[in-house]
Amino acid sequence: MLVEKGKVREGSGPVWSRCLKAGFLLFSAFMAAGCVSTAGMAEFRLYHESFDRMSVTSATIFDELAAAERAKARELFKKGLPPIPGTRTNPGTIRASGFDEQFYIEDAPYVSSIDDPPATAAFRRSLAAVAGFNSIILAYAEGRSLRELKQEAADLSSTARGALDVVEAAKGIGILNMPAVGAALALVKAGADEALKTASRSAFREAVVAHQPQIDTILVTVRDGTPAIFGLLTDDLADSAKDAMDAGDRRTAEVLISQIETYRRMLSDWVLLLDETRVALDATVAAIQTQFTCDTVMFTRDLSTATEGLRSRTESIRAAIVTLRRGFSSP
């Protein structure tokens, strides 16, 4: 399902562990030893921008997912079936023409074009909580005041609460392990609320980082939902490809299969992005709790190497989205 809602910014790309680790450790070294320099700040900003780009990359995938989720719901509507089993009180109102004379409150998230449908919302909001956690870590590393840190914690608490509400609403959908991500979000919110009660930066830090395992659980759960995302994005294409092959239209079948494989490559890059983000966040948490010396040459070199390494994967995801939205010609 192709949409134009999300735009891929030039140079947008995933977060790779060496890039993030090098950038964050470099900045932590400066903070701990009083070695702040223009070069160090530039490397830290690159880390910060990389995480933002990961969010942009994920957003484009969620835009595709939202369109696919709505399309699947429309197919079910035409059969007189609800998107979530057991939510339709009177399924027998569908007309032969495909028109349904009834309006169902529970179908509104699938019909509305303003917000995400339930499964997409659960994915998007869950990763928003990860971004909120990352913002707190960044704020701490930058040496912001306890008052400013508590504002970040309040934002995370609100984000986690909103994500939890969405996940609860989508619990009947099998695309994401809602119980697992819901439990993790509840603990993340509790950690943010606890951080609001602390009286020092060090106590604040400990209250927040204690819940890093739950952030990891969210990332793992989102990653493990990728096969279901792939199915939503490609099931109709696969059916059409089979029909074309059965009809002897090999050219059309090959075009459709190329689209399927492009989705496969895009989501494969995204899976690796999420795994590397897990490693990176673990490194950032370790960094703000560890003292380093002023030997920054190694970190700068590693970051430069990592930047070159992530470029090809960044371009791969960007190119996949552009290709899918532009459409295919014969391979």
Domain boundaries, the chain: 17-326
- pLDDT (average), residues 196-205: 94
Per-residue pLDDT tens for 290-314? 644 333 444 444 444 444 545 556 6
| 94 φ, ψ (degrees, to nearest 5) | -70, 140
Calculate mean pLDDT across residues 270-281: 81
Residue pair 18/302 in contact (Cβ under 8 Å)? The answer is: yes
Task: Give pLDDT tens digits for 167-199.
Answer: 888 866 667 778 889 999 999 999 999 999 999
Distance between CA atoms of residues 203 and 197, nearest Å: 9
Contacts 24+ apart (CB under 8 A), 183-186: 183/217, 184/214, 184/215, 184/217, 184/218, 184/221, 185/126, 185/129, 185/160, 185/214, 185/218, 186/160
**pLDDT at position 245 over 50:** yes
249: region left, alpha or beta (phi > 0 left; psi from -120 to 50 alpha): beta
**pTM listed for this prediction:** 0.77
The pLDDT of residue 95: 55
Instruction: Say whether pLDDT at 31 is over 70.
Output: no
pLDDT at 29 over 60: no
* pLDDT at site 103: 78
pLDDT for 184: 94
Please say if the pLDDT value at position 130 is more than 50.
yes
